[in-house]
Structure 1
Amino acid sequence: MNRAEREAAVRRIMERTPPPVPVDVHAEAVHRGERLLRRRRVARRVLWLLACAAAVAFTVWASRAHPWVEPPSQTTPPVTGW
């Protein structure tokens, strides 16, 4: 099939009348779209809740563990008897 034949085939397909669409397609598409948006909204809220919980957990851990303080050195023994 050369280019002219392909173009003619495409034109024939495009010139045909479109098949009839069932009546309830619009309502079903709206229902599915609403369900998809609802799921995305719930997922987004759950992710925000997890992010906030992680931030709170990190803050509590950091306030108790003080990770920014350098631990005391353990390489030299304490000096006694001076």
Structure 2
Amino acid sequence: MARLSREAAVRRLLERSLPPVPPELPAEAVRRGARILRRRARARRVMWLLVVAAAVAFTVWALTARPWVEPPSGTTPPLTGW
């Protein structure tokens, strides 16, 4: 399709009158939008709860396991020179 014919087709589309919108469509769109926003807010809260729970679990594990401390030796050095 040539550029001029495409421009003409777009002009024809834009010059036509818009079809009537059903009266219940805007209310339905607002209802769906509100539901989507509630779902996103709930998902965000759940994700923050999971992040906080993971941080608490890691902190408790780190305080009990103390991974930064060198573990005790499994064997004792031989006693010589006594």
- Shorter-chain TM range is 0.7 to 0.9
The number of equivalent residue pairs is 81
Deviation above 6 Å: which 4+ runs of structure 1?
none
Match of 1:63 in 2: 63
Residue equivalent to 1:79: 78
> For 1:22-61, what aligned pairs fall within 5 Å after superposition?
22-61=22-61
> Shift of residue 55 of structure 1?
0.8
TM-score (norm 2): 0.87
Structure 1 gap segments, 5+ residues each? none
Q: What code does the residue aligned with 1:61 have?
A: W
| RMSD between superposed Cα atoms in Å | 1.6
Q: TM-score, normalised by structure 1?
A: 0.87
